[in-house]
Amino acid sequence: MRFDIFTLFPGIFESPLRESMLKRSIESGLLEVQLHNIRDYAEGRHQVTDDYPYGGGGGMVMKPEPVFAAVEAVLGVETTTPIVLLTPQGRVFNQQVAFELAQHDRVALICGRYEGFDERIREHLATDEISIGDYVLTGGELAALVVVDAVIRLRPGVLGDPTGAIDDSHAGGLLEYPHYTRPPEFRGWGVPEVLLSGDHARVDRWRREQALRRTWLRRPDLLERAELTEAEQAWLRQLTQEWTRKISE
Ligand code: SAH
């Protein structure tokens, strides 16, 4: 999968792409990241990429010409590649959106800086707008890295364990069950007996119950869209009733 990233600060991407999974994905050809410096596409001796906002006020706004020129030079004018603007005003990134992007073989990401983009970039160039959460960053580069990281681990072959992404938190709408590794006892704290039992069916049941219980406790909002069996729904209703009874006692 190829990402074309348009940025004023390509250096930000260097070390994250040189470590661990992203590095390995690049080396094995599963991931390609092309960084394009928007400044290279700015005209004039000073290659200006930002300007004062019309109407006054503080901060600088990213000019439309260099961003359009960069994207059109790399992708062509007619393209089916999604052109994603990173902006705190976009749809909020989640596992579902990551799955959606992972279906494409090529995605373009445009990183803003300063006060953001001239509105015409949003209106006439971008085909999608993504926010990584309800807070404001100084630039879109870290957001782009979040998107690349979350999307690439969903592509076949990227994770060492091909089933790794299936149980992940948010994949099936639930938070993941707790993990334990050796030693079996650490500072007097043990490991749930079922995990040492070697009984795979019991382990699976325990994990599913833990995932449900965790999601119910921490993120009940996720349960509304989770894929649950009738029995699981009944069990959660029972948990809720017990809980309501307990707090009203
Ligand atoms: N004034 C703008 C914010 C500008 S922040 C506004 O209020 O909407 C500067 C740049 O950082 C943005 O153009 C965007 O590319 C990036 N950015 C900031 N917060 C982000 C977020 N939550 N998700 C994705 N990108 C973000």
Looking at residue 99, its pLDDT comes to 97
Q: What is the pLDDT of residue 163?
A: 77
Q: Residue 92 to residues 130, 134, 138, 211, 219: CA-CA distances in angstroms? A: 6, 8, 17, 24, 17
What's the confidence (pLDDT) of residue 171?
85
pLDDT along the chain (249 residues), means of 10: 98 98 97 98 97 97 98 97 98 97 98 97 98 98 98 93 81 94 98 98 97 96 94 94 93
Looking at residue 68, its pLDDT comes to 98
Mutation probe of ligand 1 site: the residue of 136, 142, 145, 146 with most atoms within 8 A of C-beta:
136
Q: Which residue has the tokens 């989770």?
A: 226
Q: For residue 12, what pLDDT is reported?
A: 98
Q: For position 149, what pLDDT does the model report?
A: 98
Rounded CA gap, 12 and 29, in Å?
22
pLDDT number for residue 164: 76
pLDDT confidence of residue 169: 87
Please tell me the distance between residue 132's alpha carbon and the centre of ligand 1 in angstroms.
Answer: 9
- H-assigned helices in 153-229: 193-196, 200-218, 220-223
For Cα atoms 230, 234, 238, give the angle at the middle one, nearest 5 degrees: 170
pLDDT at 160: 82
Phi-psi group of 55: left, alpha or beta (phi > 0 → left; psi -120 to 50 → alpha; rest → beta): left
**Catalytic residue chosen out of the listed positions 65, 72, 115, 232:** 115
What's residue 174's pLDDT?
Answer: 95
CA 62 to chain centre: 24
